[in-house]
Amino acid sequence: MTTPSFAASSEFANPQLEPLFTAEQIQTRIGELGQQITNDYAGRNPLLVGVLKGACIFASDLMRAIDLPIGLEFMAISSYGMSMRTSGEVRIVKDLDVGVEGRDILVVEDIVDTGLTLSYLLATLHQRGASSVRLAALLDKYERRERDVQIDYLGFQIPDAFVVGYGLDFAERYRNLPYIAVLKST
């Protein structure tokens, strides 16, 4: 998902990066999550659903840490801006190429903030007849939660700050950083 409200902000006129998690910390945590997922889904064939664009790097690394036969699909979501805040409605910009009926779905998201995007997406996948829907999120900005979202596999909890790197952008920049940093203004 893109973040137009942040991108339009002049708050980050002179951006500075304050490292939060190193590449090594991220990979260690993903290894642990992969092990846990491998154990939990033993004997099954889950379908990973990455949420574009932010989760593309997390999904790529997480799937390599899972020792099971798994599938990978992506969805892209766009919010309706401020109206989403009240209605919780989001728009699917790119849908799945396969049906989810009877499948064990593991949604892979970069960060859960208000929870509006994920609560909509998880409900949609349930409605489509998935036999189970779980969520792996790299980051949890729990202080800002507006909708209850159960994160089954969590990388790290973070405070209310705007973060970039490891797939997360600011106006399409910084996605390629191997680490995660807080974006600050001087």
**Which range in 22-30, 32-40, 122-130, 162-170 contacts ligand 5GP by CB under 6 A?**
162-170
Tell me if 78 contacts ligand 5GP by CB under 6 A.
Answer: no
Is-catalytic flag, 113?
Answer: yes
Furthest CA-CA distance within the chain: 52
Report how far residue 70's alpha carbon sits from residue 6's, in angstroms, rounded to the nearest whole number: 34
Rounded to 5 degrees, φ, ψ at 163 are -115, 150
Q: In whole angstroms, how close is the CB of 69 to ligand 5GP at the nearest point?
A: 27
Closest CA to 117 of 143, 73, 154, 87: 87
Report how far residue 163's alpha carbon sits from residue 176's, in angstroms, rounded to the nearest whole number: 13
Tell me if 116 contacts ligand 5GP by CB under 6 A.
Answer: yes
Whose structure tokens read 């940093």? 181
Tell me if 1 contacts ligand 5GP by CB under 6 A.
Answer: yes
Tell me if 54 contacts ligand 5GP by CB under 6 A.
Answer: yes
Q: Which two tokens stand for residue 12?
A: 């980050």
Tell me if 163 contacts ligand 5GP by CB under 6 A.
Answer: yes
CA 131 centroid distance within chain:
21
Q: In whole angstroms, how close is the CB of 169 to ligand 5GP at the nearest point?
A: 5
Tell me if 111 contacts ligand 5GP by CB under 6 A.
Answer: yes
CA 140 centroid distance within chain:
9
Single out the catalytic residue among 61, 113, 140, 169: 113
Q: What 3-state class would DSSP assign to 23? A: helix
Q: In whole angstroms, how close is the CB of 14 to ligand 5GP at the nearest point?
A: 18
33 vs 41, beta carbon nearer ligand 5GP: 33
Give catalytic residue positions: 113
Interaction site with ligand 5GP (CB under 6 A): 1, 3, 54, 109-118, 141, 162-164, 168-170
